[in-house]
Structure 1
Amino acid sequence: WIKSASTLIGGLKHIPGVRQWLDQLSEPKLFSVPENIADHIIVAGYGRVGKVLVNILLNRGYTVLVIENSEAAIQRLRHRDIPFVYGDADAEQVLAKTHLETAKALAIALPDPISTRLLLQRALLRASGLEIIARSHTDQEIDLLTQLGAREVVQPEFEAAMELGSHLLRTLGEEPHEIQLVLEAIRSDRYRSIRG
């Protein structure tokens, strides 16, 4: 049965236009990037954090390109027609396919701190003026990523605590304006104390 299927497919390849279609089916695409992509936002990582970032950006009308090394995540990106590059975000050959030089910004939402640092450094070597927002895993990493050139560094656990605090204060009847002032002061003090 397999031999006859191979013979049939081999025969179909001689029909004009069918060969290209069959080749596309047999080889998974490692990247799906429009040739003329520019002013796009690159999101490195399509896990829990990256997925939310991509949805926010798409809802606001931005062009997004995702770098991801999980085949399951790539399947979801394909299904949603979101441009992607498959591979490790800190790899030179992967970065080369992202049109980094014409990108508007890079959001690093990787779970690995070493990959985050390496990607940050390599991205700035390719596009020194690129706006980079990075995810931090520890307090010490906030300062390090800032020194390496990230414009902003966010620690998800701290920001989640701030959001929980905001909801709690609202539940307790606090005024939204007052809540915002309190949270801005806490956020400012925290990041200043880490960096200073």
Structure 2
Amino acid sequence: MQETKTVNRYFIINKPPNMVSQFVSTHDVGLLGDLDFQFPEGIHAIGRLDSHSEGLLILTTNKKVTKLLFQGAVPHKRVYLVQVVNKVSEATLTQLRTGVTIRIKGDVDYTTSPCDVEIIEHPELITKQAYALPDYVSVTWLTITLTEGKFHQVRKMVKAVHHKCKRLIRISIEDLLLGDLEPGAVKEIEEQTFFRLLKIDNW
């Protein structure tokens, strides 16, 4: 008797703020199940975003994707659009690019790996979620590209250089882009396209 092959499904969503990256919680929080979409059984989030963060989130029924994407020998880049209070100087950009010391799990100091950091003058061209704070508040928009993912790393990096993170939007993972997906919207991705854009092999 021929074994039936499991057909996995792959989705991206534009996660809005004040929503956790899960379907069940003991806390009174926004859940993925609150989105206006009928997800298949066995769906789960990959590379979670905290409740305050926004943007690109992967959901799949394929249990191998987390290992392939985040635990493999080759690191995969993630790009975040970050709004910080006050203007960011060239000296601060250099600090962020070369590595800053943050506190990580186990209450130990960790120096972040070199990364790409750029000032973005027109964030609205990147995502529809890029709204500004009131005019009397000075802000800078940055893109920060990471190939590592310590807990709350971007927020901790920004804090380490004496800026406050007001918005954090993940806009891409490798070549898988948030694009013009509306906040709260869901898009299904065909399997071969999904693995090609993420630059991972489907074992």
Is the TM value for this pair above 0.5? Answer: no
When normalised by structure 1's length, the TM-score is 0.22
Higher strand share: 2
Higher helix share: 1
